[in-house]
Amino acid sequence: MTEKEKVKAVTEETKELNTNQQLVALSALIQRANLASRLGQQFGGKRDIYNALGYKKDLTYDDYYNCYDRQDIAGRVVDMPASATWRNVPKIKEDDDEEKDTAFEEAWKGLSKRLKVWHYMERADRLAGIGRYAVLVIGVRGSGTLSDPLEKSSLKKPEDIIYLSPFSERSAEIATWETDPGSPRFGRPLTYKIDFAGDLKGSVRFTAGQQIVHHTRVIHVADGLLEDEVFGRPRLRRVINLFYDMAKVAGGSAEMFWQGAFRGLHADLRDEHELGPDDEKNMTTEIDEYIHGLRRYIRTQGIDLKTLGGETPDPRGVFEVLISLISGATGIPKRILIGSERGELSSSQDETNFNSYIHERQIHFAEPMVLRPFIDKLIEFGALPEPKEPYKVEWPNLFELDDKDKAEIADKKAATIQKYASTITAEEVVPIPEFREKILGLDREPSEEDIAYLQKRLADDLDGDDAVDDEFRQRVRGNRERKGDGR
């Protein structure tokens, strides 16, 4: 049976689900609903924390998307891992020759630049973080309809790949599954029903509608996989309750400030004074106009106006607790998550921890689950030439020191050398070779070029003082003899 016939057969099989299969599917849904209903239950169900705190138990993609789209810190939780992972892109190499590219390397460089591959991989990564998965559709020139499977070596050159399009879980529904236990794709999607209008549904400028797309034209991207290879864990799932609480703290404190900034007025009518119907109506009108800024005075004949008391609590303590919990749950250091704290830049330890997290993500997710499946698919179908040697993926070093750090280290080393050189007995306690190796991180002995340069500097500075020059040479010779080198 050809791949196309298999797709048709599985589609028909899916349409003809018998009653037992429907009951099994319904049972699974009921089990999920029962599990969700038990969230937050305490004291044998007498207390429901989730209901008391206003948490939603059964979350959908729209819940995650709305939180991502409207909540500031939630957007950073989703976007930061993806943007940091793909910010410094890796090198794809077939060999170690830096001067001349192989046919595979040249074809990859041209294709990745033309199609903006890294840009689309980052977008697919972000979309996968909102829901349980995302897909990256590979557009192929002259290959039939999207529901047709691509055949091996059906493409001839990189230019046959004409576009890349990322879609979220909401826009890329899984239509059929591979049900053959003998297939290497058992339990994985066979086809997708993709809405190419995406978030532009109903837009006048684009109404492409839904189309069935075969899995050979798709890269499936899922982060946080556990039991299967299809559905990951949304990045906001563990922290969405905290964002509900953060909305209460930020929005509630803002409302209390708004109400507390103008604490209200209490109109106290004096005992000897009475208000007529017109007086009461006029006073109410004037107070309303005063509150809304339409007038800056109130006539209060026979009335004492008093300001009502109020208190505006400081939300910083509660906010600190919430942001700390979010940081711990997501693995993003707090100072990096919110950009800065008290006007300070994130500490070097925070940056090191975050870089370690991103490096691990590059090695265990971005490369094996996104990048290599994409490149392997292009090689399999002929868009990229088969490399003679297995290609390598080299990620940039995230722990490389910047110019500021290098300057600080150089300054400290210079101060250390100055103190060592000015201490008369320093060489007896720590010999020069050991000082160079253990303290400065240099070779135990200076090179011949370094010695020649230092001798020249000494000669220039001291107008050729042979005594000093000979003393320097003798000290170098003595150090070599101590370590057993008689040169």
What pLDDT sits at residue 254?
A: 78
Structural tokens at position 389? 């040697």
Structural tokens at position 407? 């300057």
Do 464 and 370 share a structural domain? no
Instruction: State how far the alpha carbon of 253 is from the alpha carbons of 98, 249, 312, in Å.
Output: 58, 6, 7
Do 68 and 44 share a structural domain? no
Question: Does the model's pTM come out above 0.75?
Answer: no
What pLDDT sits at residue 401?
A: 66
- Indicate the SS3 state at residue 86: helix
376, 394, 412 - which closes a domain:
394
What pLDDT sits at residue 384?
A: 95
Domain annotation covers residue 182: yes
For every residue of 339-382, DSSP letters joined together read S-BTTBPPPHHHHHHHHHHHHHHIIIIIIIIIIHHHHHHHHHTT
Do 155 and 11 share a structural domain? no
Domain annotation covers residue 343: no
Residue pLDDT tens, the chain, 487 long: 555 555 555 555 555 444 444 544 455 545 555 555 566 666 666 677 878 788 888 899 999 999 999 998 999 999 999 999 999 999 999 988 888 999 999 999 999 999 999 999 999 999 999 999 999 999 998 877 899 999 887 888 999 999 999 999 999 999 999 999 999 999 999 999 999 876 554 444 455 678 999 999 999 999 999 988 999 999 999 999 999 998 888 888 877 777 666 666 666 666 666 666 776 677 777 777 776 666 666 666 666 666 666 666 788 888 899 999 999 999 999 888 887 544 445 567 788 889 999 999 999 999 999 999 999 999 999 999 999 999 999 999 987 766 777 787 888 888 888 888 888 888 888 888 888 888 887 888 887 777 777 677 767 665 545 555 565 556 555 555 555 554 4
Do 46 and 109 share a structural domain? no
271 Cα distance to chain centroid: 68
Do 367 and 220 share a structural domain? yes
Domain annotation covers residue 265: no
Structural tokens at position 70? 């409207």
Domain annotation covers residue 167: yes
Phi/psi of residue 94, each to 5°? -95, -35
What pLDDT sits at residue 427?
A: 83
What pLDDT sits at residue 344?
A: 47
Do 68 and 26 share a structural domain? no
Do 16 and 135 share a structural domain? no
Do 201 and 64 share a structural domain? yes
Question: Domain span at residue 438?
Answer: 403-482
What pLDDT sits at residue 314?
A: 80
Do 224 and 79 share a structural domain? yes
What pLDDT sits at residue 487?
A: 45
Do 463 and 367 share a structural domain? no
What pLDDT sits at residue 1?
A: 55
User: How many domains does one find in the chain?
Assistant: 3
Do 25 and 90 share a structural domain? no
Query: For residues 269 and 266, what is the distance between their CA atoms, to the nearest angstrom?
Result: 10
Do 363 and 226 share a structural domain? yes
Domain annotation covers residue 312: no
What pLDDT sits at residue 162?
A: 94
How many other β-carbons are positioned within 10 Å of the β-carbon of residue 441? 9
